[in-house]
Amino acid sequence: MDNLPVLVAGGGIGGLSVALTLHQIGVPCIVLESVANLRPLGVGINLQPNAVRELEELGIGPAVLDTIGVQAREWALVGLNGNDVYSEPRGLLAGYRWPQYAVHRGALQMLLYEAAVERLGAGAIRTGHQVTGYRRHGDEGVTALIATHDGRYLEMRGSLLIGVDGLHSAVRAQMHPHQPPIHWGGAIMWRGTTLGRPIRTGASFVGLGTHRQRVVFYPISSADPATGLATINWIAEITVDSAGGWRGGDWNRKVDVESIIPHFRAWTYDWLDVPAMLRGADEVFEYPMIDRDPIPTWVDGPVALLGDAAHVMYPTGSNGATQAVIDARVLGAAMIEHGVTACALHAYDAQLREDVGGVVLRNRGAGPFGLLNLLDERCGGVFDDIDAVIPPGEREAFMSRYKVAAGFAMEKLNAATPIIASGARVGGEAPACCSTMSS
Ligand SMILES: Cc1cc2nc3c(=O)[nH]c(=O)nc-3n(C[C@H](O)[C@H](O)[C@H](O)COP(=O)(O)OP(=O)(O)OC[C@H]3O[C@@H](n4cnc5c(N)ncnc54)[C@H](O)[C@@H]3O)c2cc1C
């Protein structure tokens, strides 16, 4: 058992964060990634200060992140009439000790991949290896069942298996065979990136519209000094009748931009032309706003779920990737305390599952965009003076409740010790509680 690696199913942001964390604390691991050749897929994502702190602990600090994104300065909600509903500074400007980043998801994944190959060796990251299931062996670890890209079937033995295999997780499907189907509340998102001039602070996240129809946009690159143009990530979203159910889809379903323009044709302001921004994208992807119901456990003996496989959530709170990084660090800390054991997996589950399940449900209620719901209830979204509709104290209280729930409340984060103490490594005898591998 001692010589067996930890197996990590999935080489996304979560899986690679696990690999880098395990390497840092001296635990051998092998990443099994289904895609044969990783490519920088996706569009923009946010890394909240708590995740940036953890990446810095992994040696991927601001100097590196500055090469793939921009430090966010503001988060703002704007009503359909163009009036501000709420705005607050973000990252360093807000007083966090670590910045918040807006980055290209694919660029971040490739950065983590290259760091993992460099540190763990290319043999530790096996692409073209799809995990289809697992077999438990009591106290003797676990076997991952693998289908390779070139049509072979393999079995690989490990001490533990961490299922970080995303929305359609095969590990989760085996662990929870009767889980409800993917949940869809009726919102459809179209996503793309367009070269444009950044507005407001130059690094502002702006949500414009109503809770049923909005456009969210933010730069994910610095402005080119010669042209003043940056890569602007945008998400255009509408809510439709979900009675017909979710018709399937993944992150890579392309659509013709002209099919979405009619929803936003009238959205032109002297500071933004929404149809022009949408039309400026080379590619537009459709993605339904989907998640999964929280589950009663993320652990089955020597097997645990992590990242989207454990808790895929609506992206309304911009914390899917952030939570995957935090999960990886909490898992590493649990191994330092409990050894490379099922007991560590239980400690990880006990520390995170309930709270993160709460964030999943909170994001269903629109997450921080819930302020727009409130605005709609009180004035149908039509207002001149926002203070008369939702007083400033109420707006701030709403936002701080969300940040506490999502784990990036500023005072708490700034005062907290690192999740993994500098130089800590796994070693010594596993505590007695770890002798059973039962779930
Ligand atoms: C192609 C793609 C594009 C995305 N684009 C965006 C985006 O634009 N904006 C956004 O907010 N979020 C996006 N996401 C989701 C976002 O990356 C995650 O919410 C977040 O980073 C948590 O990461 P994760 O590692 O848990 O899951 P994911 O990022 O989904 O990574 C899961 C990884 O596991 C691999 N995998 C899947 N099944 C298996 C299996 N059976 N065996 C082995 N490996 C497997 C996948 O190929 C993937 O590399 C995207 C995800 C993917 C996969």
- Please give the single-letter amino acid code of residue 77: L
- Please give the single-letter amino acid code of residue 12: G
CA–centroid distance, residue 200 to ligand 1 (Å): 31
Q: What is the mean pLDDT of each run of 10 residues along the chain (439 residues)?
A: 90 98 98 95 91 97 95 93 90 94 96 98 97 93 97 98 97 96 88 95 92 91 95 93 68 89 95 96 90 96 98 85 97 97 98 94 77 84 88 87 72 92 83 48
301-338 pLDDT tens trace: 999 999 999 999 988 777 899 999 999 999 999 999 99
Q: Is 327 a pocket residue for ligand 1 (Cβ < 6 Å)?
A: no
CA–centroid distance, residue 142 to ligand 1 (Å): 24
Backbone angles phi, psi at 148, to 5 degrees: -90, 160
CA distances from 101 to 115, 253, 403 (A): 19, 26, 16
Of 101, 132, 308, best ligand 1 pocket probe by most atoms within 8 Å of the beta carbon: 308
Nearest to 68 by CA among 42, 94, 35, 34: 42
Q: Is 321 helix (H, G, I), strand (E, B) or coil?
A: helix
pLDDT of residue 253: 84
Instruction: Provide the 10 A C-beta neighbour count for residue 284.
Output: 23
CA–centroid distance, residue 103 to ligand 1 (Å): 15
**What would the two tokens of residue 228 be?**
């003043």
Q: Which residue's alpha carbon is at the smallest distance from atom 35 of ligand 1?
A: 10
Q: Which residue's alpha carbon is at the smallest distance from atom 22 of ligand 1?
A: 321
Which atom of ligand 1 is nearest the CA belonging to 14?
Answer: 25
Find out whether 235 and 216 touch, Cβ atoms under 8 Å. Answer: yes
Q: Which residue's alpha carbon is at the smallest distance from atom 48 of ligand 1?
A: 12
Q: Is 163 a pocket residue for ligand 1 (Cβ < 6 Å)?
A: no
Beta bridge partners of 124: none
CA distances from 376 to 152, 209, 396 (A): 55, 11, 18
DSSP per position, 178-198: TPPPPEEEEEEEEEEEEEE--
Q: Is 271 helix (H, G, I), strand (E, B) or coil?
A: coil
Beta bridge partners of 129: 148
Beta bridge partners of 270: none
CA–centroid distance, residue 179 to ligand 1 (Å): 20
Distance from C-alpha of 19 to C-alpha of 114, rounded to nearest angstrom: 12
pLDDT of residue 80: 86
pLDDT of residue 139: 81
Distance from C-alpha of 308 to C-alpha of 164, rounded to nearest angstrom: 7
Q: Is 45 helix (H, G, I), strand (E, B) or coil?
A: strand
**What would the two tokens of residue 283 be?**
């590619």
CA–centroid distance, residue 22 to ligand 1 (Å): 20
pLDDT of residue 431: 60
Question: What is the β-pairing status of strands 125-127 and 29-33?
Answer: parallel
Find out whether 62 and 71 touch, Cβ atoms under 8 Å. Answer: yes
pLDDT of residue 437: 41
Q: Is 405 a pocket residue for ligand 1 (Cβ < 6 Å)?
A: no
Handedness of CA 382, 191, 10, 61 (dihedral sign): negative
Nearest to 12 by CA among 340, 254, 344, 323: 323
Which atom of ligand 1 is nearest the CA belonging to 43?
Answer: 8
Give the H or E element holding residue 348: helix 342-364
Distance from C-alpha of 321 to C-alpha of 315, rounded to nearest angstrom: 9
Q: 177: Cβ–Cβ under 8 A, 6 or more apart, which residues?
A: none
pLDDT of residue 30: 98
Q: Which residue's alpha carbon is at the smallest distance from atom 30 of ligand 1?
A: 166
197-206 pLDDT tens trace: 999 999 999 9
